[in-house]
Amino acid sequence: MPLRALQADITTLAVDAIVNAANASLLGGGGVDGAIHRAAGPQLLAECRPLNGCRTGQAKLTAGYRLPALHIIHTVGPIWHGGTQSEAGLLAACYRNSLLLAQTQGLRSIAFPAISTGVYAYPPELAAQIAVRSVREALPDCPGVHDVIFCCFSAADLALYEALL
């Protein structure tokens, strides 16, 4: 199962699902979350409202609306507190639970942003290691998922993922 990294705007990818690094409300925010909500359009907010938010490490599915991606998997990454509050396990759960949700929904291609590395301040090097390891560990349980993209916003993030892959 190919894992690959590319530098792009995740809202432009034509995949079965893009992953949204959401906040717990699922009602939009800054960074990737805000960009996805803006690109998907107001129907996304309307679908997210009755979902009653999402806990850190968990994942929920919506339609992609105006995005080229058919679906959005919303996951809430941990806020970095120096690594002392189970952040690594919670971040790994974001990737694992997103992949398991994709598998149960019959989705074959998925693109992940660098979850928690923006306003949640997770160190990008550590987050990339957890992302790649977690995806590799979860993929045997997700045989229907055939294409996993680590979508990097910056060249620096792309270099981190390419070195790990």
Catalytic residues: 33
Sheet of 109-112, strand order: 3-7, 147-152, 109-112, 17-22, 71-76, 59-63
**Residues with Cβ within 8 Å of residue 50, at least 6 apart in sequence:** none
How far, in Å, CA of 31 to CA of 162, rounded? 22
**Residues with Cβ within 8 Å of residue 163, at least 6 apart in sequence:** none
